[in-house]
Chain A
Amino acid sequence: MEKHVVVIFPHPDDEAFGAAGTIAKFRQEGVPVTYLCGTLGEMGRNMGNPTFATRESLPEIRKKELQDACKAMDVELQMLGYRDKVLEFEDLSKVSDHLKGLLEQLKPTLVITHYPEYAVHPDHNALGAAAIDAVSRMEESARPTVWAQAFMRGYQEILGKPDVVQDIRPFVKTKVKAILCHTSQAQGVLGNVTGAELTEENMEAIAMEHFKEETFYTWNFDNI
């Protein structure tokens, strides 16, 4: 059994859409979960529908949504303070050092992050790469397992089938609750993910139907 799970994603809502079912499963088993959230999603284009956020008010709104979602999933939250959309242009060796320091304090047995180059958004790819680099530089005895999430079009043709397939149907309620905490983003992102015409009324039901599993690849550190 895991002792502590650390989730490392760049945006408020990545944790909800990507891993909330898995997180809920760990929490039900009594495993502590910490979310290291890279940015506040400052450059998101979803402003609520109808629009209620502005480019300038969005960071504070998303911070509150993130805190609410973490409460709903019962996880600890640490915000890393990077800026949305420009993470890949940071000095990634510094980001990796930053993450390594945090991981050495938190001592996770499992880290969940994005699969570099297979996670669509440049911020996902950059933070995933920094996280994996950080873990790879940890003492082997203290090194957590890493589950990397890929979802680029056609990823399975290249990477093969993911070896970690979490059936999240028993936890879908918590996942949808976490997603809906991200009020400014939920409808826009759910529309993309489900391909359905969403309204405020139907989106909870469509989301409950849609999410069945979350998948990851166990990172192989022998290859580096």
Chain B
Amino acid sequence: MKPIDMNEVQEQIDAFAGKKVFIHLETTNGAYANHVNEKAYNVGAFIRNAQVTYEHGKIKGAGMAYRVGLKTENGWVYAEGLNAWEVDDKNRLLMAGHDREGRLMVSLEISETAF
């Protein structure tokens, strides 16, 4: 993955607008968060292969912390903390936020085919 370039990512988000797409959305601080640090909470959520169609989407933010919001007919898809992206060999838009040690903290992925 490479550091986010807002213009390039926006172009990719636009390309999926109005289409029936599959979403992978995830946030995690790892299954060992509380094991390693007694004061930490284990928190995470993911949804894989949710089918949505968004009217439009935007990327906002700067530096190492970007947000993406996708406006759907009945609601929103939202991710915060994104800093890396790529379009993979299956034409899927992968976005992620990694911490200083390269660990994934958040991920939002959009694809026309199921993950």
Contact = CB atoms under 8 A, between A and B. Distances in A.
Nearest to A195: B36
Q: Is the interface of A mostly helix, strand, loop or mixed?
A: loop
Given A47-B98, A51-B1, A57 B88 contact: yes
Contact of A47 (B29, B30, B92, B104): B104
Contacts, number: 63
A197 B46 CA distance: 30
B23 interface: no
Interface size for chain B: under 10, 10 to 19, 20 to 34, or 35 or more residues? 20 to 34
B95 to A, nearest CB: 10
Contact of A55 (B36, B38, B96, B102): B96
B111 to A, nearest CB: 9
Given A55-B96, A56-B92, A56-B115, A45 B30 contact: yes
A47 B36 contact: no
A107 B32 CA distance: 34
Given A55-B24, A56-B94, A120-B35, A43 B46 contact: yes
Contact of A122 (B26, B31, B109, B115): B31
Nearest to A55: B107
Contact of B88 (A43, A56, A123, A187): A56
Query: Of residues A50, A55, A188, A191, which shows the largest number of chain B Cβ atoms within 10 Å of its Cβ?
Result: A55
A51 B3 CA distance: 11
Given A120-B32, A153-B38, A54 B101 contact: no
B32 A191 contact: no
Query: Of residues A46, A47, A188, which shows the largest number of chain B Cβ atoms within 10 Å of its Cβ?
Result: A47
Interface of B: 1, 24, 26, 28-32, 35-36, 38, 46, 84, 86, 88, 90, 92, 94, 96, 98, 101-105, 107, 109, 115
Top 7 closest pairs, chain A to chain B, by CB: A49-B102, A51-B102, A45-B104, A45-B103, A121-B31, A120-B35, A55-B107
